[in-house]
């Protein structure tokens, strides 16, 4: 039985409040264990003292996620999949965002292969304060030739991103493993015909493996149980991904059944699930744009419903952008709004005569304001006030954005309006207009009320800046 409250975790801790974990109390550390921002290994007494050995082992068991977490790749770019505890995000949060691997074929020309791998590895999309990336490369053994496959693996491995080896031929997979022994690739896949040989490879090279049984959950569970009993712990499930019709409906239902069973305590099938949206290209859709569109639709469906890892094909921006954006949104932690650091930011190249504005540290608000200013060439100082990641209107209503907090933010940023700028003027968001009087009293500065929408700042600046003396 899992534990879900700090009080339950606290019973297994030393209860000395020694502070060696970096927290003031053991209860505070217990809270970090429950929300997964801390690990049991962060508590030195718990790990080092023999008298706590049984408690440590039991605590690790109780804290383990319902769905096993599996690592693919090695080093800084390694990715984790699985690790979830809930069916619905609002009950806690989803962990380990859906990982997206894009395919290459081992029979591609070397130049084309290298170019595509570099395109995948170099993909970057800035979104609300972070860069959205693609996660790895799935190498398909189209040639079924061990030598060709090994050569392709060697080229991809040079880039240093996680890999999936795709073949049902054990000899082909072994050839790839021989040239990438330390890369920890994911093997795809073991099925009813090759399970013994693939299982031996997974044990020999200590790599994660996919077990596959298309639209047969009993066979899938049997394969997973067989591998687990053989000592293979890092397993990924492939129940099959049909692109259209009744097959697609069955695929969706299978994903739901597997995840529900895993969360409800069926450890024999509590593993990450693989989706294969690139089967859209096998659905007989002649138009590449339509095939790419349908692949994106499938990726969206299985991002929302329990696909922990997927293999895709289209690298067109109209396909990749919605895929990575949706995954980022679904896996945003609802317990803590996305926020930027509370400090004074420079937009462009501000001087002592440039305007001074403030907004909240809610990332979407901050980057919207910053974008509206920078895209219109407005050099200014922009202060992000700590409102616990809440937007302007809600923060004013809830008391997270007050004149005292704005003054405190200026003080912490070391920005003195009387000496840093020549005009001693601050522009407040239009939605915070009610704070104008209090701000003037607290800051000892002139406060101008800006527009309700930051998109109107350029026009507002033309009429109201510089301020009249």
21 marked as part of a ligand binding site: yes
Cα 243 to Cα 140, 220, 299, 309, distances in angstroms: 19, 20, 11, 17
Residue 284 marked ligand-binding = no
Residue 414, marked binder: no
Q: Are 394 and 363 in contact (CB under 8 A)?
A: no
303 is in an annotated binding site: no
Quick check: 204 and 178 in contact, CB under 8 A? no
Is 390 marked within a binding site?
Answer: yes
- Whether 366 and 358 have beta carbons less than 8 Å apart is answered as no
Q: How far is CA 319 from CA 113, 115, 294, 316, in A?
A: 20, 19, 9, 5
Strands 125-127 and 130-132: antiparallel
User: Is 79 labelled as part of a ligand binding site?
Assistant: no
Provide the token pair at 63.
């804290």
* Among the listed residues 400, 370, 377, the one whose alpha carbon sits nearest the alpha carbon of residue 387: 400
* 166 carries a ligand binding annotation: no
CB atoms within 10 A of CB 449: 18
To the question of whether residue 244 is assigned a binding role by annotation, the answer is: no
Task: Report how far residue 29's alpha carbon sits from residue 21's, in angstroms, rounded to the nearest whole number.
Answer: 7
Distance CA 137, CA 311 (A): 8
Q: What's the CA gap between 435 and 443, in Å, rounded? A: 12
Contact 310, 277 (CB under 8 A): yes
Task: Return the structure tokens found at 186.
Answer: 């994911």
Question: Would you say 389 is a known binding-site residue?
Answer: yes
254's tokens: 């299978």
β-strand pairing of 344-347 with 309-312: unpaired
Is 359 annotated in some ligand binding site?
A: yes
Distance of alpha carbon 91 from alpha carbon 367, whole angstroms? 29
Q: Is 427 annotated as a binding residue?
A: no
DSSP per-residue codes, 243-277: -SHHHHHHHHHHHHHHHHHHHTT-GGG-S-BEE-G
Those residues whose C-beta lies under 8 Å from the C-beta of residue 252, and which sit 6 or more positions away, are: 301, 305
- Could you list the residues known to form a binding site for 5-methoxybenzimidazolylcob(I)amide, using ranges: 359, 365, 389-392, 454
Binding residue numbers? 18, 21, 26, 43, 359, 365, 389-392, 454
From the annotation, which residues make up the binding site for [4Fe-4S] cluster?
A: 18, 21, 26, 43
């Amino acid at each position: 039985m899992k534990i879900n409250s700090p009080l339950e975790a606290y019973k297994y801790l030393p209860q000395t409040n020694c502070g060696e974990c970096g927290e003031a109390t053991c209860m505070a550390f217990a809270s970090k264990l429950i929300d997964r921002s801390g690990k049991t290994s962060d508590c030195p007494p718990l790990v080092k003292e023999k008298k706590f050995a049984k408690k440590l082992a039991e605590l690790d068991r109780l804290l383990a996620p319902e769905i096993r977490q599996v690592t693919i790749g090695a080093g800084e770019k390694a990715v984790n999949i699985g690790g979830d505890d809930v069916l619905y995000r609002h009950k806690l949060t989803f962990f380990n965002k859906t990982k997206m691997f894009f395919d290459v074929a081992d029979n591609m020309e070397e130049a084309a292969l290298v170019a595509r791998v570099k395109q995948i590895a170099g993909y970057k999309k800035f979104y609300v304060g972070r860069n959205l990336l693609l996660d790895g490369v799935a190498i398909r053994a189209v040639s079924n030739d061990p030598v060709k496959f090994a050569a392709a693996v060697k080229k991809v491995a040079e880039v240093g991103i996680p890999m999936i080896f795709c073949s049902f031929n054990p000899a082909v997979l072994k050839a790839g493993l021989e040239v990438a022994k330390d890369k920890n690739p994911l093997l795809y896949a073991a099925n009813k015909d090759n399970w013994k040989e693939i299982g031996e490879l997974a044990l020999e090279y200590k790599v994660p493996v996919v077990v596959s049984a298309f639209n047969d959950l009993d066979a899938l569970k049997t394969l997973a149980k067989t591998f687990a009993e053989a000592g293979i712990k890092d397993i990924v499930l492939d129940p099959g991904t049909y692109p259209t019709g009744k097959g697609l409906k069955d695929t969706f239902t299978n994903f739901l059944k597997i995840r529900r069973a895993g969360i409800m305590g069926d450890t024999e099938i509590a593993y990450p699930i693989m989706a294969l949206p690139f089967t859209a290209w096998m659905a007989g859709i002649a138009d590449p744009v339509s095939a790419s569109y349908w692949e994106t639709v499938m990726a969206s469906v299985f991002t929302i419903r329990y696909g922990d890892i997927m293999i895709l094909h289209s690298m067109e921006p109209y396909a990749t952008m919605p895929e990575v954006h949706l995954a980022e949104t679904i896996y945003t932690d609802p317990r803590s709004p996305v926020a930027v650091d509370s400090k004074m930011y420079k937009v462009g190249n501000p001087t002592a005569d440039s305007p001074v504005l403030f907004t909240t540290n809610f990332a979407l608000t901050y980057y919207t304001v910053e974008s509206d200013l920078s895209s219109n060439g407005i050099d200014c100082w922009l202060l992000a006030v700590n409102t616990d990641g809440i937007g302007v209107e809600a923060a004013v209503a809830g008391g997270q954005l007050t004149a005292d907090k704005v003054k405190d933010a200026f003080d912490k940023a070391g920005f003195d309006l009387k000496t840093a700028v020549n005009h001693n003027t601050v522009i407040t968001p239009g939605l915070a207009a009610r704070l104008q009087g209090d701000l003037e009293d607290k800051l000892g500065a002139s406060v101008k009320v800006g527009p309700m929408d930051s998109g109107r700042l350029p026009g507002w600046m033309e009429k109201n800046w510089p301020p009249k003396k």
